[in-house]
Amino acid sequence: MAVVKDITIAEVPGKFDDILDVRSPAEFAEDHIPGAISVPVLDNDERARIGTIYTQVSVFEAQRQGAALIARNIAQHLDTTLRDKPKQWRPLVYCWRGGQRSGALAHILAQVGWKTGRLQGGYKSYRRHVIDSLASAPDTLEFKVVCGATGSGKSHLLQTLAAKGAQVLDLERLAQHRGSLLGNLPNEAQPSQKMFETRLWDALRNFRPDRPVYVEAESRKVGILNVPDAILHRMRASSCIAVEAPLPARVDFLLQDYAHFLQNPQLLEDNLRKLTELHGHKIIDAWCDLVHQGQWPALVERLLANHYDPAYRRSSVACYPQLKDALVLQALQLDAAGFELAADELLSKENQP
């Protein structure tokens, strides 16, 4: 008789060819194990309907109708998503808590002849593992915090460092946000908080503790998402690298990096209006006039001088006490070639005895 093997989260890496998430598409979209494939045995509407029957009619009736739906959906997956899997295929199946949904699919896959595992405790056990790891893993790593005023190309420097093989924790990339009022990426929503934490966990678990991890200085929030406390505390206690770039270069860089706002002036104005309480109507109206006139360099200079640079000075001094002793990196050229030079210089200085 085919047997489904119960697997703990610690046993997962390297043992399975595919990880199958049988929860509903909505549950999968909120968060899932990295690399998992969505193979729902109940879709969103079906799950809601069975839940209503469970609470309002009877447990038995919910189980009867749920079993029928699950059987039909599993049959469809066998004829579509799973039809080309070879005899030697090894799947791991999980649902919310390792119960009936994953049990049903795992049982049938095992009966087919595939060596099938089921995650003990399901997604709940995985989620607990992520939370525990995020609380402890940062203390095992040496962070190097890249600081610098808005427009000094910190994110691009991190990307260049990563391309050169350095260990990089790119919080803004993982959060899909540039970390400021104007940081929303065009046509790209941020992930859920749980998905953000999964991405962080996935990055941290692949870092080696004997090599530094470069990370950009951030506040507690990146857009609508919260940086976990343990990561934030570790960053704020770490040594810093101060990137310095001349104002004209920063202005030109920002005009290129935020070009989508130039193509949608109304969106830019709507975002600037959100700063009225902080700066007052007179200053905001003046900034919006520059938007209407298309005076982009003048607008960027004023935003830097009156909003971003003062905010950076306040937050960096308060949050990163080691910034006063930072390694200074001059970034005179904020383009691909300039970031290559800056990354090489940084890695050279960091590797000096």
Q: In sequence order, what DSSP letters do the residues of 190-258 get, joined into one string?
A: PPPHHHHHHHHHHHHTT--TTS-EEEE---SEETTEEPPHHHHHHHHTSEEEEEE--HHHHHHHHHHHT
Q: What are phi and psi of 243, to 5 degrees?
A: -90, 125
According to DSSP, the residues that pair with 240 across neighbouring strands are 145
Of 95, 147, 240, 288, the active-site residue reads 95
Taking the CB of residue 6, how many other CB atoms lie within 10 A of it? 13
Rounded to the nearest 10 degrees, what angle do helices 296-303 and 247-257 cross at?
Answer: 110
Classify the C-alpha dihedral 147-148-154-155 as positive or negative.
positive
**Is 95 a known active-site residue?**
yes
| Residues 118 and 4: beta-carbon distance below 8 Å | yes
Residue among 249, 219, 221 at smallest CA distance from 153: 249
Which helix (H) or strand (E) segment holds residue 118: the answer is strand 117-119
CA distances from 21 to 11, 38, 41, 92 (A): 17, 5, 9, 9
Q: Calculate ∠ Cα 7-9-15, nearest 5°.
A: 60
> Measured between alpha carbons, how far is 139 from 233 in angstroms, rounded to an integer?
9
CA distances from 252 to 151, 244, 311, 337 (A): 9, 15, 20, 15
Q: In the chain, what is the greatest distance between 2 CA atoms, to the nearest angstrom?
A: 78
Classify the C-alpha dihedral 274-300-156-329 as positive or negative.
negative
> Measured between alpha carbons, how far is 352 from 151 in angstroms, rounded to an integer?
28
Q: Kindly list the catalytic residues.
A: 95
